[in-house]
Structure 1
Amino acid sequence: MNYAPDSVLRTVFIALSALACPAAVYAQTASDSAENATSIALPSVVVTADKIERPLEMVPASVAVIDGQDLEQSGITTMEQLEGRIGGLSFQPFGQAGMKAPVMRGVTAGIHSYSSSVLLLVDDVPTLMAQGFENSLLDVDRVEVLRGPQSTLYGRNAETGVVAIHSQQMEDTPRATVTTELGSRDKRDVRFALSGPLVANTLYGSVSGSIARQSGFIHNTYTGGDEDHTHHKYLNLGLRWTPTDADEVVTRYTRQDYNDGAALWGNAGQPSDRVASTTPSWNRSLGQTFSINASHLFDTGLRLRSITAYNDYQDKVLQDSDFMPVERLYIGRDNHMRTLSQELRVEGQLGRADWLVGLYGDHGNNDLRNFALRSPVFSDYGGRLKTDSVALFTHWNVPFNDDWSVSAGARIERMSAGITPTGGGHSSQDWTYVSPKLSLQYQINASNQWYISASRGVRAGGYNIFVSRLNYPSYSPEDIWSYETGLKGWALDKQLRYSLAAYVMKIDNMQVQMQPAVGVIYTASAAKATSKGVELDLDYLLGAGWQVTTGVAFNHTTYDSFQDGATNYAGNYNTFAPRLNGHVDLRYTAPQRWYAQGSVVGTSKIYLDAGNRYERNGYGLLNLVVGYPFGQWEVAAYANNTLNKKYDAEGYNAGYYTIYSPPREVGARLTWRM
């Protein structure tokens, strides 16, 4: 399914906008009428998008939310499954678990930049790079996705957005869930979550985890087996202490283990899903986090919050790269990335205004090693990359009157990076930048709002640690100025919730991942670019048990100017940036509580290189699920990629590799809940 023609894109947006705007903005009079009253309505959603609890529709930004029940019943257990399910969010095709480079609003960071354009927050613990950008989405209350620059509140790695995962609260009411799943390719998955009081009204605990195994679909014609089998383990331990009504301390430890076979790679131009590899390929990565989130509420109404987090990720990979019976070409990584971060902030109210002021700092200590065989030469290179950041930030929400309000904030951040390659030498650089944000919001009526905003997003500079022949060149911070306007709110007696946003972003010193030859990857930062687009989210209760949910995003990101060496890329599309992606879900819930859901998730084609020579075609996937709860049990059957669509990325790394797409998967789940 290819969405490339502009006429198709325009038709989709005109149709969906026609559904949203007239009903949303002008239907309030009808919804106020008693004769149109109805007994069904969408539930209210409270988010912490700007670090203060507010209703979703009151946040002057493009925000999408998925609740934990939706994740569970849809069978979403990996970050990759959020692609398209959140309009505007996608990931670079890479084919390795635990390694996810996000793409939002046409902007992304190279995997070897050890940075990210979108920040991942799991219970306030930041992940600052593609390595470890993963979560099993277990025992989750909700996932909030903020689209657009969020550097003011969240710093340099929230350049184009934030994915914030919130676990369910540990409370006095005990809860328990156990799920077993069987599926295609001998899939076996066990997931569990337990939570309850250890000391009534004072101390609470939780433990959740999963073990998942599955055989692969890439057949090795040399060994006769499959190459890409997976074996994942996940653990999340939590402890919440509330010694007084004014104090709370939440401690969490999480662990993600990978014991997989090969990445989803093959030779470009070879038969699909077939290799003839001699070199054993594997992924034995390990991610761990530890955090302490403490707060104290003073009698004056001020709240002091401290968030201490330690993130440790070991990226251990060996990957055959010629896929031939003779061992001639392979690559490997043995990276150890550690980040310690600390945030302190004070929150309060001044009249009708709420505000916060905070300090943030982090220290990154990364031991990096890449090795490769390019027969007959074996190369082994790496070094130590250290980063430091310190920032002061503030944010205010100030109502002028009942109709008009303003949100304003700024962040000043100083960041340094230093590189010490193996064998000696050292280089370092410092950067200081200010990230302001200003939003104006108007309450059209009781249920609908309009906003306009301007903000700056920044991504840190760094070093090309694996380009030794050029003396490890540095690259500058990427700078974005974003201008956005939107409508959001309720209509039809709260049977319809909508959000419509349009934006333009001007990008300077754009960091572009370049792959001019096999095994040669570096980051260039000489580009200027423009990103513009539209995002629409709708949630509509049709009545009689039917519900439609959709989220679509159109984006157009091209280089205004970009000269790298002798090649001029001006006018080309940015790498890995789809022009259109999103989803449409149709769900029926019967009075007897059984449910059925059909979901179409799609994305347009993406280019794999700055020259726009290689691409992954656009696609649309049909996912189906039906479930039946009875007592404390629920049984569900599903089919993902029901029509078995292929959407391989052919031409990764200068046309050499194909990144295979997963085939159709069918299975069944049995869940017990207390």
Structure 2
Amino acid sequence: MPTPFMRASGLLPLMATALSAAAQQVPETQQEHVLPAITVTVNKQSQALERVPASVSVFDGEALEANGVRGLDGVAAMTPSFTFQSMGQSGAQPPVMRGLSANVTSFSSSTALVVDGVATLRGLGFDDALLGVERVEVLRGPQSTLYGRNAEAGVVNIVTRRPGNAPYASVSLDLGSRNKQALRFDASRALVENTLFLGVAGEFARQDGFIDNTHTGRKEDDRERKGGRVALRWTPSAQTDATLRFSQREYDDGGALWGPTGGTREAVRSGTESWNRSKARSVSLDVAHELTADLRLRSITASNEYFDRIQQDSDFQPADLLHLGRDYHFKTLSQELRLEGRAGEARWLAGLYVDGDDNVLNFEQKTPLALARTRSTLKGNSTAVFTHWDVPLAARWSVQAGLRVERDALRFALAGGSEQSRNWTHASPKLALQYQWQPAAQLYASVSDGFRAGGFNAFAPETQRRYEPEKVRAFELGAKGQLLNRRVRYSTAVYRMDIDDMQVQQMGAVPGQVFMTNAASARSTGAEAELRWLVGGGWQVQAAVGLNHTRFREFRDGASDHAGKRNPFAPDLNGHLGVRYDAPSGWFAQAQVVGVGKVYVDAANTPANRRAGYGVVNLAAGYTWTRTELTAYVNNAADRHYDVVGFPASTITIYSPPREAGLRLSFRL
């Protein structure tokens, strides 16, 4: 599992890939006291971070790697208003951003995960091992204008390192608690100088579990993950840059981090085997061609697949009374074409996007009365056109505006049954106004729309089979900039989001039966702040806080009225504070505190069904010499428990991981 301690690595505001650029501008004696310029592509064009009129958090890939962040939960720990629904299963972690979430039964997400232009739009498969990453960008607020459906709350954009002429190599070895072993590498070089380049990255990680199965005498939740990335880049001319990418990630785990509510903590008596053998795989061809000095064409062709294969005991008894099984295969083929250029001082982008989904859903549920198996198919396609403009208005004023028109179609069929179909057309506008009130500081205001696609309930009765798209309109005011001669970078924002036709989960008459409906509306309001500060004398500070108030305006669930209640899994508060000291002699020490407010598991906000608010402390210290670094770390140093109690239907507790200590040896060419 990812190492929270080095979620403190986000502490490192200095981006390793930007150090050389900073060195050209700042005298050597001052380099450690200057934050480098940051360029992001989360708006599908290269922009200075300060030019993006939205809340954006950026994390350098080398810093994440050096600090042991091995997944997106480590990134979320350092990001305001970004958390995950805890599912206790590798590869299944629905994101929660600014109070909006999506249950895994909807096969959609409130936030898009985009890796080198290839999107994942579900909670199942919303994960990444962060191999060979250049940077991770987290953009909050509706992003359907550029990314379409299921980006109504934001986007996590991962940009991997492009191989080039300069050889690159890094390797790290982790040894830690519960027999943890992890090996990772990342390497690239030119095969033909200036023309053909190869990059490869990979990992193998395993760790023993911590949940005792008193029936078998074994640990129930061992974890093993392996995967890799390959990038083959071809630059036949100065105008053309093409990269073929392949990535794969495999899990071979024991059971989920589940146990019975009210039972002995971290102990089960399961006689039914539990396992997770899921896999993610993607292939893409990314081609950029410069047509003229002011006109550029980009094409991304991709296949993205996720195989969700689990069996999970849910009675935790020797007899097989209750268990569930999933054998899902999600496959998306997509094509995006973009043109970007200039019209006078304005920058513009226009694009076309098409995709096709082919999903097979096999579900198994064992009850004391019967073993039920359901097989269905869910297919669909999307077509969209979009545009985005950045137009200077005056010396200090500029406006950014965009629009996307998207048509989505879905087809659903149970095995042996007739096919049902639905389609929607949705327009997603965005408008932002910026004011550069100082050379290194700006204010902005924006309004934007987002939406989450509607769909079919694959395992619900016919009367509850369909649900409609969810719609969001958001307003945001923000400020960002630099202070103290580029030693401080800050950003703040306040926002309000109105959610209509809100997709919520309701329970069916059959035990364990759940389905999505549009039974609610809600409002999300909040504030965010981030700070990175090079204090001097070897000291660095990074801090972030997110305040969110998401409440149902309307929600009637049978005889129950949930108006005024919290959206499940949406905390009112999250934040972190990290401090690092680097001594001139090469040793370093750092500490991080990560805190998240309480969340409820159900829309009724049942007091017993929740995860209490918590704070964890992660510590690390080490020594760096030449190109080698040795780090000792302790994650969750106080061994805090922050279990999710009562999920689902009050019967299951999802355990939080215990304290973990370890050593990490890293080498970089």
What are the residue-to-residue correspondences of 1:501-650 with 2, within 5 Å? Answer: 501-515=493-507, 518-613=511-606, 614-650=609-645
Deviations 1:586-630 (A, max 9, x none): 011111232211011110000100000111001001011112111
Aligned mate of 1:62, from 43, 51, 55: 55
- The 8 Å contact of residues 411 and 436 in structure 1, kept in 2 or not, is answered as yes
Which residue of the other structure, out of 461, 470, 490, is the alignment partner of 2:482? 490
Consecutive unaligned residues in structure 2, runs of 5 or more: 1-29
Alpha-carbon contact 1:62-1:146 (below 8 Å) kept: yes
Paired positions, count: 637
2:665 alignment partner in structure 1 = 670
Q: Does 1:349 find its partner at 2:349?
A: no
Residue deviations 1:525-568 (CA, integer Å, cap 9, x gap): 12110000001010011110111101110000000011122221
Distance apart, 1:361 and its partner CA = 1.0
Whether the 8 Å CA contact 2:244–2:286 is kept in 1: the answer is yes
**Structure 1 CA distance for aligned equivalents of residues 58 and 511 of structure 2:** 40
Distance 1:348 1:548 in 2: 39
Match of 2:444 in 1: 451
Distance, in Å, in 2 between the alignment partners of 1:513 and 1:599 is: 35
SS in 2 for 1:549: strand
Which amino acid in 2 is paired with 1:368?
Answer: L
The match for 2:291 among 273, 287, 298 is 298
Distance 2:603 2:240 in 1: 52
Contact 1:74 1:625 in 2 (8 A): no
Q: Structure 1's 38 and 245: CA in aligned 2 closer, same or farther, altered over 3 A?
A: closer
Q: Provide the aligned C-alpha RMSD in A.
A: 1.2
- Preserved CA contact (<8 Å) 2:142 2:153: yes
Q: Using the alignment, how far apart are the partners of 2:483 and 2:514 within structure 1? A: 50
- In the alignment, residue 654 of structure 1 is paired with which amino acid? A
2:371 equivalent to 1:378: yes
Structure 2 CA distance, aligned partners of 1:251 and 1:472? 43
Q: Distance in 2 between matches of 1:382 and 1:555?
A: 39
Local SS of the residue matching 2:150: helix
Structure-2 residue corresponding to 1:186: 179
* Larger CA deviation: 414-423 vs 235-244: 414-423
Amino acid at match of 2:644: A
Q: 2:250 aligns with which of 257, 260, 283?
A: 257
**CA distance 1:472–1:364, change in 2 (3 Å):** farther
The residue number in structure 2 matching 1:335 is 328
CA distance in 2, matches of 1:427, 1:254: 34
Distance 1:408 1:588 in 2: 42
- Return 5+ residue gaps in structure 1 as ranges: 1-36
Q: What amino acid is aligned across from residue 400 of structure 2 in structure 1?
A: S
Identity level (%): 47
Tell me which of 429, 438, 452 is aligned to 1:436. 429
SS in 1 for 2:218: coil
Shift of 1:470: 3.4
TM-score (norm 2): 0.94
SS of corresponding position for 1:158 = coil
Q: Distance in 2 between matches of 1:627 and 1:428?
A: 58
CA distance in 1, matches of 2:204, 2:556: 48
Q: Which amino acid aligns with 1:554?
A: L
Question: d(CA) in 1 for partners of 2:196 and 2:505?
Answer: 48
Partner of 1:32: none
CA gap 1:333/1:635 in 2 versus in 1, 3 angstroms:
same
Task: Identify the match of residue 422 of structure 1 among 381, 404, 415.
Answer: 415
Displacement of 1:657: 0.6
Alpha carbons 2:131, 2:228 under 8 Å: kept: no
Paired with 1:619 and 1:565, the residues of 2 have a C-alpha distance of 33
Q: How does 1:153-232 map to 2 (within 5 A)?
A: 153-232=146-225
For 1:8, the equivalent position in structure 2 comes to none
1:645 is aligned with what amino acid?
Answer: R
Matched residue, 2:97: 104
Q: CA deviation at 1:472?
A: 5.1
Choose which of 465, 468, 479 in structure 2 pairs with 1:476. 468
| Runs ≥4 residues deviating over 4 A | 515-518
How far the C-alpha of 1:471 sits from its partner, in A, is 4.5
Cα deviation code 1:292-326 (max 9, x no counterpart): 11011012521010011111111110000100111
CA–CA separation in structure 2 for the residues paired with 1:76 and 1:424: 46
Structure 2 residue matching 1:424: 3-state secondary structure: coil
Q: Using the alignment, how far apart are the partners of 1:524 and 1:638 within structure 2?
A: 45
Cα deviation 1:367-419 (Å, max 9, x = unaligned): 00110110230100130001211000000000012200000000000011111
Residues in 2 aligned to 1:530 and 1:471: alpha-carbon distance in whole angstroms: 28
Please say if 1:77 is aligned against 2:70: yes
Within 2, Cα distance between the matches of 1:49 and 1:610?
A: 33
Whether the 8 Å CA contact 1:465–1:472 is kept in 2: the answer is no
Q: Secondary structure at the match of 1:303?
A: strand
Aligned residue for 1:416, secondary structure, equals strand
- Distance in 2 (CA, whole Å) between partners of 1:460 and 1:571 is 25
1:176 deviation in Å?
0.8
Describe the SS at the equivalent of 1:358.
strand
